[in-house]
Structure 1
Amino acid sequence: MELSTPQWGQLVTLLMVAVALGMDAFSLGIGIGMRGILQWQILVISGTIGLFHVVMPLMGITMGYYLGTMVKDIAVMTGGGVLCFLGINMVWNAFRSGEEPRLIDIKSVTGVCLFSISVSLDSLSAGLSLGLFAADVWLAVILFGVLGALMAGMGLLLGRHVGSWIGDYGEAVGGVILFFLGLRFLM
């Protein structure tokens, strides 16, 4: 089956949007990967991010475009706040002694979901925007999910290798990265 010029244009546009949405997952994955995570955790985290990169745009489309500007600002601010919080928590955990339970543990289901939601909030506003155009919704959300998961996995793997070079300070460096990325969303 051959694609027409408008279909190619839509595919290229959706791929660019999917890569842009996946860049957050990639860069934040580097920060989380520096904490030192196992390969199965990389699969779980990247799979969860991919799932949220599908669910969030569908929620955005369902909400409707008339809420777009308000929800976009709220989503970005919430995501930025959560990332700053995760970053501060990672830096705090890197320098404290003892084995007290962590406030946010990326190895727990709650931590993975919180991280995945914060990374995928921009997909919610992208979904709101998709409602304005005659885009193929299923193609879009599948591309968002697959590229979000792949880019998160690549970032986690890269962070894992960089973290082994940095040593014990990998978690602190990852926390600083998350904090400044969160600040970028807040500004």
Structure 2
Amino acid sequence: MHPISILFLGLAMSTDAFAAAVGKGAAMADPRWRDALRTGLVFGVVEAITPLVGWALGSFAERYIENWDHWIAFGLLCGLGLHMIWKAVRHADTAAGPPRTGLWAIALAGLATSIDAMAVGVGLAFIDVNILLVALVIGLCTFAMVSAGVMAGRALGALIGRRAEIAGGVILIVVGAVIVYEHIFAG
């Protein structure tokens, strides 16, 4: 695989994580760069591991992952999005605002947005590619995009206040719907 192709693959795999990070940043009370980098690191590590897992599964799991990856991602993203909306509505009467996002919630969101990378890993098992390099590039692109996305979400959150968490939930649901749409109508 050409290095430019690997870079584009890394950027493409990180776009849904970026959208989810904007939503997470908007939902966080007051994210700092430390929070953004932590979130980026978790998403980046998860996004780097999933193509390795997909590559290892190879042809055995290809038909299962390829047929269901979009539905799994959709279910996880919708569940997270609905939970964010529920928290925003539930906490609408409190002055403290929504709680900070926990590590497990971040990891689950990272997993939800990286299932497509696992399917890509399965496909890469059948071509001559350095999977460790590809996984590293995907992870680094995701780290950078998610860290920037959280801080972009912070600005959005400051502009629209408590409605930011609802917007973040809607963004996660839309990302899930787009994943399903692309898989159903691709090709």
Q: TM-score normalised by the shorter chain: which range applies?
A: 0.7 to 0.9
Alignment-mate amino acid for residue 147 of structure 2: G
Structure 2: give runs of 5+ residues left out of the alignment: 182-187
The alignment partner of 2:146 has SS state of helix
* Structure 2 CA distance for aligned equivalents of residues 186 and 84 of structure 1: 11
- Gap change, CA 1:82 and 1:106, over 3 Å in 2: farther
Corresponding position of 1:185: 179
CA distance in 2, matches of 1:158, 1:41: 13
2:75 to 67, 74, 81: 81
CA distance in 2, matches of 1:173, 1:51: 26
Which one of the candidate residues 19, 25, 31 is aligned to 1:27? 19
CA distance in 2, matches of 1:88, 1:56: 25
Residue of structure 2 aligned with 1:110, choices 104, 114, 118: 104
Q: Find the residue that maps to 2:162 and give its secondary structure.
A: helix
Kindly state the Cα deviation for residue 184 of structure 1 after the two structures are TM-superposed: 2.0
1:140 aligned to 134, 137, 143, which one? Answer: 134
Deviation at 1:162, TM superposition (A): 1.1
Deviations 1:82-134 (A, max 9, x none): 111111111111111477xxxxx762222121111111111101111110110
The two structures have a TM-score, normalised by structure 2, of 0.86
Residue 170 of structure 2: SS of its match in structure 1? helix
- Deviation, 1:22, is 0.7
Aligned length: 174
3-state SS in 2 of match to 1:34: helix
Taking the aligned partners of 1:162 and 1:178, their CA distance within structure 2 comes to 15
- Output the aligned Cα RMSD: 1.7
Contact in 1 for aligned 2:84/2:168 (Cα 8 Å): yes
For residue 31 of structure 2, what is the aligned residue in structure 1? Answer: 38
Cross-structure match for 1:128: 122
Shift of 1:65: 2.6
Inter-partner Cα distance in structure 2 for 1:35 and 1:107: 8
The equivalent of 1:14 in structure 2 is 6
- 1:152 is aligned to 146
Kindly provide the amino acid, as one letter, of the partner of residue 142 in structure 2.
Answer: G
Match among 48, 51, 66 for residue 45 of structure 2 = 51
Q: TM-score, normalization: structure 1?
A: 0.86
* Matched-pair contact (CA < 8 Å) for 1:10–1:135: no
Aligned partner of 1:70 in structure 2 is 64
Task: Give the distance between the partners of 1:109 and 1:35, measured in 2 at CA.
Answer: 14
Provide structure 1 residue ranges, at least 5 long, that are not aligned to the other structure: 1-8, 100-104
